[in-house]
Amino acid sequence: MKKTKLLTLTACILMITAGIVYAADRPLHVIGDEDLILSSTAQHLPDIPTECDGAMISIQGDDVRFKLSDTVEADNGAILNEGDILILDSISQIIGFNVILDSGSSSATAYVTYFGKR
């Protein structure tokens, strides 16, 4: 009886481990993208796909400021210059991302590419 339970437990652990390895080995695929026209009002990413695991954001136009967990203002937060690329590798970073034009900037677009596992 104990041997059967031990074999069953071992088989379950092996199946769970195989599932985790399979999920970790699957590459990320592009699952969506959007252009976010930035202004002097802080914005979050509006249309995050439900299966999103990561995002790449590139800035086109003037400089912007961003934060991942707090409201950003035009004179505080990390700066992204035109041409910079920001990689967000967790859903909490993606949900927390908010961006605004840097003070003195007149126009910018954040081009967002979303990634997920299929």
Residues 25-38: tens digit of each pLDDT: 567 799 999 999 99
Assigned CATH topology for domain 29-117: Jelly Rolls (2.60.120)
Q: For 65, list phi and psi in degrees, rounded to 5.
A: -125, 150
Give residues with Cβ within 8 angstroms of 14, minimum separation 6. none
**Model pTM score:** 0.75
C-alpha to C-alpha distance for 105 and 51, rounded to whole angstroms: 33
Average pLDDT over residues 97-110: 94
Spell out the domain ranges in the chain: 29-117
Residue 117: the pLDDT is 84
